[in-house]
Amino acid sequence: MRWFWLVVVSVSLFFSAASWAERKGWQAFEHSQQAVQNKNFDVSYVVFKGDQVTSFRWLHGLTDTQQLEQLIPLDADGVDILRQDNIVYYFTPDKPALVTLSPFIKELPALFYKSIDDLSQLYDPVSGSVSQVGGRSAQLLRLTAFHPGRLNYWLWLDVETGFPIRIDTVSENQQVLERWQVTHFLLTSTLPEPLQGVLDMKLPVPDMRRLQRPDNPELVSDYQLAWLPSGFRKVDDPYFIPRLGSPLLNYWLLTDGLHQVSVFVQRSNQVPAQAYRDGATTIYVQSNEQIDITVIGPVTLDIAQQIADAVRYD
Amino acid sequence: MPSKKQDWLSAAIDEQGLSNEHLDALLQDQDLQHRFERYHMIGSAIRQELPKQLHTDFAEQFAAKLAQEPIHQLQSSHTFMQRIKLGAQRAANSDWFKPSAQTAIAAGVALMAVVGVQHYQQPGAQDLMSPLPVLQTRPVAGFASPVSLSQTSVDSRFEQQAQQAMLEQQTRLQELLNAHHQQVRVLDQAQIMSEQRPETRDDQEPDGQL
């Protein structure tokens, strides 16, 4: 009997410790989210994808009436992105500006803009050691995926401010696929100076009629997607169906609340199966005599293959 | 008396001495100082000591030229503001779902993301996530090696065709990747539109701006 109680106490201690660790992990992450969403800052960061490196300047500020955020690529050919509350503008040197509605800039790490409730359905947070990153003390937080075939995130969060300093997107076998690294950050008490100029600017007001769903091309409904990776669901009615050089026979957009996967079905070019990777994004093409299936998204190649295999013609 | 002034000044320039009162007068009187300068210049001209190009007001000219120089500033926020203004004036959302506009805009964005794409050619291999050859996202001039007469074989012609097919395939994948990024950008649009209409500012005309 004594043994029984000992086991009961040990098991309950183990689970309460695990639960406490998880709570502490999400608390640290929430602190980081607050820093990204509510502080005024002027940050520079780089993104490593394979041997390709791109650099950005990221400005964020709050006034009494609005929230402003700007992402400036330091490459000459990049696109300047500006967010005013939930209106996002894409500015290119020679093209008309693009205006969309979004609560955050999609080119930034989406992790920082999703609710802890949603994230806790997908990831288990495990705190690691404190180390020096870029001359600052940083707490390592590992977000380990519950579902198989998902990418994991390792985050280094500034101990003092909670601000993210480095994010590694890591494959199932612990290979770093993409690295996001802050190279300079400056927290300011007020709106960063470059954003002051935006305040005085008359930005175009989105015309709701023109933001309505565009005329989408007809799809061939005979194609079905018979399987979804665990945790993913189909977006019932994607906002628009891409118009491509080789017309789409069907298209599905999948999401788990944090990541998105696109599945394109086109007429066959009869190419051998191919896979590519753009940082953490897998691009997989599978072809048969009738159709090409292309799966694009931040999933493992194994999952991308299973999605492609699940396209059926009824 | 100009003549008197000239006398002692001329004598001073000829190194015949200068009294304290005259020195004080010279230091205080600008007219005398100009005269002093001019006499020295005449003396230099007679002795042929002047440079070929004479700039008596070099300092003023330099200051004026400096003032005319453009101010160079790296990553000027002013320039960026102009760029935003220009882009905002030409905002054309109605066009960006059309294939050409969509591809053009997306290509600019995707360019910063796509170059690091990696490639593998073994669909049956187990280690599919291992580092892979880099995808060429643009036609590469030096892709095919220089071909001499002896090398123009059936094999090399097939090779060229295969490379051409590969480039076409990469262009197609680039287009799909752009479409995927575009889809992610507008994912929340319908929901936001149904939840809340963005505030329309009174000082602007909503119609025709986008």
- Chain A residue closest to B74 (CA)? A74
pLDDT on residue B4: 60
B residues 44..63 contacting A (CB < 8 A):
none
Residue A171 has pLDDT above 80, yes or no: yes
Residue A232 has pLDDT above 90, yes or no: yes
- CA distance linking residue A45 with residue A184, whole number of Å: 7
Asked whether residue B191 is assigned to any structural domain, the reply reads: yes
Across A50-54, A282-286, B55-59, B184-188, least confident range:
B55-59
Q: Which residues pair with A1 in a beta bridge?
A: none
Residue A106 has pLDDT above 80, yes or no: yes
Which candidate from A201, A213, A260 shows the least CB-CB separation from B183? A260
Domains of chain B: total:
2
- CA distance linking residue A172 with residue A43, whole number of Å: 30
Q: Are B99 and B176 found together in one domain?
A: yes
Domain boundaries, chain A: 12-209, 216-313
Q: Are B107 and B159 found together in one domain?
A: yes
In this structure, are strands A136-145 and A87-91 parallel, antiparallel, or unpaired? unpaired
Asked whether residue B30 is assigned to any structural domain, the reply reads: yes
For the stretch B76-104, pLDDT in tens is: 445 566 666 666 655 555 445 444 434 43
Q: Which residues of A213-225 are buried (b: 16+ CB within 10 A; e: fewer)?
A: ebebeeeeeebeb
- State whether B94 and A210 contact (CB < 8 Å): yes
For the stretch B4-16, pLDDT in tens is: 656 888 888 877 7
Q: Are B191 and B97 found together in one domain?
A: yes
Q: Are B45 and B137 found together in one domain?
A: no
pLDDT on residue A117: 94
Nearest CA-CA partner of A240 in A215, A211, A265: A215
Residue A35 has pLDDT above 90, yes or no: yes
For the stretch B56-76, pLDDT in tens is: 676 778 788 888 777 665 544
- Domain of B190? 93-121+131-195
Asked whether residue B138 is assigned to any structural domain, the reply reads: yes
Q: Are B185 and B110 found together in one domain?
A: yes
Asked whether residue B13 is assigned to any structural domain, the reply reads: yes
Q: Are B190 and B99 found together in one domain?
A: yes
pLDDT on residue A15: 63
Highest mean pLDDT among A192-196, A251-255, B111-115: A251-255
Instruction: Tell me the mean pLDDT in the region A100-128.
Output: 94
Residues in chain B with CB shorter than 8 Å from the CB of A243 are 97-99, 102
A residues 34..93 contacting B (CB < 8 A):
49-52, 54, 57, 72-73, 75, 77-80, 82, 85-93
Q: Where are the beta strands (DSSP E) in B90-205?
A: 118-120
Percent of chain A with pLDDT over 90: 55
Residue B138 has pLDDT above 60, yes or no: no
Asked whether residue B67 is assigned to any structural domain, the reply reads: no
Q: Which of A239, A248, A293 to mutate to test the interface with B (most CBs of B within 10 A)?
A: A239
Token representation of residue B56: 């008596």
* CATH classification code of A216-313: 3.30.200.100
How far from chain centre, in Å, is Cα A270? 32
Q: Are B114 and B174 in contact (CB under 8 A)?
A: yes
Structure-model confidence comparison of residues A243 and A249, the more confident one: A249
- CA distance linking residue A310 with residue B210, whole number of Å: 40
Query: Which pTM value belongs to this model?
Result: 0.69
What letter represents residue A39's amino acid?
K
Asked whether residue B151 is assigned to any structural domain, the reply reads: yes
Exposure on the CB side of residue B103, measured as CA atoms within 13 A = 13
Please tell us whether the domain made up of A12-209 is placed in CATH 2.50.20.10. Answer: yes
Q: Are B102 and B182 found together in one domain?
A: yes
Q: Are B103 and B156 found together in one domain?
A: yes
CA distances from B34 to B9, B49, B134 (A): 11, 19, 75
